[in-house]
Amino acid sequence: MTEIDNKVAHLAIIMDGNGRWAKKRGLPRLLGHRAGVNTLERVVYAAKDRGIRYLSVYAFSNENWNRPSVEIKGLMKLFSYYARKKLRDLVKADIRVRFAGRKEGLPDSVIKAMDVAETETSDCEKMTLIACFNYGGRQEIVDSVNRFVKEHPGEPISEDAICSNLYMPEVPDPDLIVRTSGELRLSNFWLWQSSYSEFFFTSSLWPDFTPEVLDEALNTFNKRERRYGGLK
């Protein structure tokens, strides 16, 4: 492992490029997603070894429902399978698993896999892995406002009110957001929480992402000066 002075508490990753990776090799898109899961496994343990406390990944967005039904069904089966298969290893590594997003509309098998993973890893403390599944940043903000209005009718809406009603209000905002595949946008990911996040973009397709690229991102972050709108 490369020795780095890690200053990132919460690393967020937009895992992009599975389909293009498969297409370049003349493979079905689902095989690209399988390769992406293998990469995620490597990155999870690399992040833990580097002292990252929270790792959140964009696994399935609200907009991904617009993809072909065959691909969606394959993704759901893939998610359920790996959520169960890797659970024992995650517990052994002391990694907690949590999910951000809406459960409405998801297959029962996926919801059950989520519930089991969260329950079985609830006592793990070394790192928290957050899978944003059926997630959308705009939807999260809408859900937060609606929840507050329902519980506090007539009260003014403040930043603190929205923050306290987000999906995971206790999780610190991402320090660094990494996006693969060369795309330069957030794609509705952590919209509220990313207000002062730093960004790192790489042309590597997600299945080609390595711990070495992760170290490059972390080292780049360490060289930046974060002023949060003020002066140092």
Annotated binding site for Mg(2+): 16, 198
Catalytic residue check, 108: no
- Between strands 95-100 and 176-179, the pairing is unpaired
- Residue of 16, 134, 165, 175 marked catalytic: 16
Binding residues: 16-21, 29, 33, 61-63, 65, 67, 179, 185-187, 198
- Secondary structure (H, E, C), 116-143: HHHHHCCCCCCEEEEEEEEECHHHHHHH
Catalytic residue check, 64: yes
Instruction: Please count the residues of the chain.
Output: 232
- Short-list 208, 176, 202, CA closest to 189: 176
CB-CB contact of 21 with 207 (8 Å): yes
Phi (first) and psi of residue 230, to 5 degrees: -105, -160
Separation in Å, CA 154 to CA 93, 142, 151, 164: 46, 17, 10, 17
Question: Which stretches of the chain are DSSP H helices?
Answer: 18-24, 29-49, 69-85, 87-92, 108-120, 137-151, 159-164, 211-222
Which residue type occupies 139?
Q
- Residue of 64, 188, 208, 215 marked catalytic: 64
Catalytic positions are: 16, 64
